[in-house]
Amino acid sequence: MARPIWTGTISFGLLNIPVKLMAGERRVDLHFRMLDSRNKAPVRYERVNEETGEEVPWKEIVKAFEYDKGSYVVLEPSDIQAAAPEHTETVDIDAFVPGADIGSEYYDKPYILEPGKKAEKGYVLLREVLEKTGMVGVGRVVIRTREYLAALAPKGNALVLLILRYAQELVDPEEYKLPEGGLAKWKISAREVEMAQQLIESMSAAWKPESYKDDFRQRLHKVIEQRVKAKKVVRGKQADESKLPENAATNVIDFAELLKRSLAKKGAAAPAKAEGKRAAKTAKATKKKPAKRATRSRPTKRA
């Protein structure tokens, strides 16, 4: 069962509606690890001092702002804490505005608000009034340690909290070279307009988001499954599938489960038999020929 990010209230005027802030999106990205192509060992990211080339431990790292090229001002944890918003679990509504007035470019990330205990009546009241009036509540909310601008809107049986982008985060389209003027300036005929309208009408359909799939992810997932089934896999030296973290399925695309299923289907005994035959063959050859003396490899000179 999903756990709430925080439990708090929707606050507007003198009214408070207890709610739980729940995740409204599910990340399904495929996560990859970088390996060294020579020995298939994982590659780590390291914190390296640009002057000395030495790795820097976390305890020696401080945050700084580059106010000029190569010039920095170091910020203490107390400085950042002083600028942080007061941590409150409240959706503070500043105003109610027509939902149609908020451009789609402002919407960023969705959350779902679930009513708290005995808060269903107030929840339904706010939801139905917003639906009836076409209004959305705009205000501020603190999620974890950052304050966001957000819109509170009805969606079916739910009240959704939509994180909004600030105006300064958006690029003004006028900064780009865009064609000005209308149909006459660009000599677009009435016939061309009519045909374009007919084409759009012929392709018109109801919006069904569930009918659109991430085809690239699905195709890539099939490629990964085929690779696993073909046993083109790399096992770490200290891999222990019995001690995988809880979120391993998300981080490694259920690799552990795919490996188990694939190996069970192909038969794990086959590799063991092949290894036994190779061992017997090697032992036989050893009896016939005396073992060669091992030669030391000379160290390679560095340039």
Contact 28, 217 (CB under 8 A): yes
Say which DSSP state 170 is in: S
Q: Which pLDDT score is estimated for 56?
A: 92
Contact 136, 128 (CB under 8 A): no
Nearest to 161 by CA among 1, 265, 8: 8
Nearest to 228 by CA among 202, 200, 255, 247: 255
Q: Which pLDDT score is estimated for 104?
A: 93
Pair of tokens at residue 100? 């149609």
Pairing of strands 63-68, 135-143: unpaired
**What counts of helices (H) and strands (E) characterise the chain?**
7, 9
Q: Which pLDDT score is estimated for 275?
A: 52
Rg (CA), the chain: 30
Distance CA 259, CA 232 (A): 11
Amino acid at 258: L
Distance CA 60, CA 57 (A): 6
Amino acid at 296: R
Amino acid at 84: A
Q: Which pLDDT score is estimated for 238?
A: 53
Say which DSSP state 107 is in: E
Say which DSSP state 29 is in: P
User: Helices marked H in 35-143 — which ranges?
Assistant: 77-83, 120-133
Q: Which pLDDT score is estimated for 270?
A: 45
User: Helices marked H in the chain — which ranges?
Assistant: 77-83, 120-133, 190-202, 215-229, 248-251, 255-266, 269-288
Contact 149, 166 (CB under 8 A): yes
Distance CA 150, CA 136 (A): 10
Pair of tokens at residue 171? 């690029």
Q: Which pLDDT score is estimated for 15?
A: 83
Q: Which pLDDT score is estimated for 235?
A: 64
Nearest to 28 by CA among 204, 216, 278: 216
Pair of tokens at residue 21? 């802030």
Nearest to 258 by CA among 270, 248, 243: 248
3-state secondary structure of 43: coil
Nearest to 257 by CA among 295, 290, 224, 292: 224
In tens digits, the chain (303 residues) has pLDDT values of 678 888 888 888 888 889 998 988 777 667 778 888 888 888 888 889 988 989 999 889 988 888 888 888 888 888 877 777 776 788 989 999 999 999 999 999 999 999 998 889 999 999 999 999 999 999 999 888 788 999 999 999 999 999 999 999 999 999 999 999 999 999 999 999 999 999 999 989 998 988 888 777 778 778 878 777 776 666 665 544 444 344 333 333 344 454 455 556 545 444 444 455 555 555 555 555 444 444 444 444 443
